């Protein structure tokens, strides 16, 4: 078994393809925990609701992923089906289908959208990438052996793939960057702690306005990813100490959860856990000892907010994706009704309850934090 908890300098020698980052830590912007405002940020009045009008022939199951691109809405459900809607929620078509044919996929893990060539890239762990146009026509495929141990694939500059790897001892790196033209690749961000059982995080990559933001396991750094590699952009400084590989040198691969418990008891940060980004704002979650927090950071003003997660604040807890300038929440009829009830008496919203909602309704709510 590969020993996972070793120094970064040693782990970088495990493969011949290494990261090409040239930026020094001096160029990283720091977000100081104590400088963040301790309150929930207010919302502006620019709220928009979109109800997806499902086809009777193609009902949508439990929604797993949503991507908004080119005034279109793409939705992946738990039945490995991919749906396309207009920005007004009108059903357009399904993209691809399950099967063993060359043009079909077996299991759809996630997808990305190429807005330059108007293509949808479907990632099948068994068959690699399948490409389709916006009308659902099969347009070709791409596969690489280094994609076999990743859980999600994201498109960068329409020519590179950023693979988010399982948090496991089989591959001691968080990401793999692949050049689709040459099949050359880089292994990026060595993991501080791994496991013999793959561990998956919620939202590790967010793409907005052609900018790719990424986080790594046990890390307090927010990175930007490009075709040349991954570069540190922001470092979150909190009362907890940043984790290092040496902190977990006494744990084996089978003791991942014991190691995480040790981190909690020893004042070691578990890192940023998930991230969403618009062209201006970063939204991420962070656990300070036993208390989980949301952090909203305005990259234009270098100003941020922090507040404890609470079950009744439905807006933030149901975010599923972003557009260029808005966060997008996912609701069913019941949750949307609860949200509407919580907004009664607020002067900053003119939302009304859509008449067409039923128990199978899928509601997307767009909002922008106050600037």
Query: What confidence score (pLDDT) does residue 214 get?
Result: 97
206 inside domain: yes
Longest dimension (CA), the chain: 61
Mean pLDDT per 10-residue section of the chain, whose length is 371 residues = 32 34 62 95 79 91 94 95 96 94 92 94 92 96 88 91 88 93 94 84 86 94 96 97 92 90 93 94 92 94 90 75 93 87 66 78 90 76
Of all residues in the chain, what percent are helix, strand and coil, respectively (each to 5)? 15, 45, 45
Quick one: tokens of 323? 């557009």
93 inside domain: yes
89 inside domain: yes
Rounded Cα distance between 116 and 108, Å, is 23
2 inside domain: no
Query: What confidence score (pLDDT) does residue 66 get?
Result: 97
Rounded Cα distance between 301 and 278, Å, is 14
273 inside domain: yes
Query: What confidence score (pLDDT) does residue 23 get?
Result: 40
Are the C-beta atoms of residues 222 and 295 closer than 8 Å to each other?
A: no
Which residues does 67 contact at the CB level (< 8 Å), separation at least 6? 73, 74, 111, 112, 113, 321
What is the domain count for the chain?
1
Rounded Cα distance between 140 and 120, Å, is 11
SS3 (DSSP) at 84: strand
Q: What's the chain's length in residues?
A: 371
How does DSSP classify residue 25?
G
Query: What confidence score (pLDDT) does residue 208 get?
Result: 86
200 inside domain: yes
256 inside domain: yes
Enter the pTM of the model: 0.88
3 inside domain: no
Residue range(s) defining the domain that contains residue 235: 8-367
């Amino acid at each position: 078994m590969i020993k996972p908890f070793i120094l970064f300098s040693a782990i970088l020698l495990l493969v011949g393809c290494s990261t090409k980052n040239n930026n020094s830590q001096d160029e990283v912007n720091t977000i100081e925990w104590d400088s963040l405002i301790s309150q929930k940020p207010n919302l502006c009045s620019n709220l928009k609701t979109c109800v997806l009008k499902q086809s009777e022939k193609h009902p949508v199951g439990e929604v797993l992923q949503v991507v908004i691109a080119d005034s279109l809405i793409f939705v992946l459900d738990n039945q490995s089906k991919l749906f396309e809607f207009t920005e007004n929620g009108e059903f357009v078509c399904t993209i691809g289908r399950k099967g063993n044919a060359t043009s079909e996929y077996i299991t759809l893990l996630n997808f990305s959208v190429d807005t330059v060539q108007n293509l949808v890239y479907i990632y099948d762990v068994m068959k690699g990438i399948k490409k389709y146009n916006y009308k659902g026509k099969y347009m070709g495929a791409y596969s690489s052996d280094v994609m076999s141990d990743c859980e999600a694939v994201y498109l960068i500059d329409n020519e590179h793939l950023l693979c988010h790897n399982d948090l496991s001892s089989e591959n001691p790196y968080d990401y793999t960057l692949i050049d689709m033209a040459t099949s050359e690749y880089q292994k990026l961000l060595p993991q501080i702690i791994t496991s013999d059982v793959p561990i998956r995080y919620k939202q590790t990559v967010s793409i907005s306005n052609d900018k790719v933001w990424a986080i790594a396991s046990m890390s307090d750094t927010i990175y930007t990813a490009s075709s040349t590699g991954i570069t540190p952009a922001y470092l979150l400084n909190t009362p907890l100490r940043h984790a290092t590989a040496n902190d977990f040198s006494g744990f084996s691969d089978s003791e991942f959860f014991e190691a995480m418990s040790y981190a909690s008891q020893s004042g070691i940060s578990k890192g940023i856990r998930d991230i969403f980004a618009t062209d201006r704002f970063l939204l991420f979650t962070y656990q300070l000892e036993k208390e989980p927090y949301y952090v909203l950071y305005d990259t234009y003003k270098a100003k941020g907010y922090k507040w404890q997660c609470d079950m009744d604040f439905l807006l933030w807890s149901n975010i599923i994706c972003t557009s260029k300038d808005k966060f997008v929440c996912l609701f069913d009829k019941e949750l949307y009704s609860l949200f509407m009830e919580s907004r009664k008496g607020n002067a900053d919203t003119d939302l009304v309850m859509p008449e067409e909602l039923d128990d199978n309704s899928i509601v997307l709510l767009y909002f922008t934090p106050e600037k």
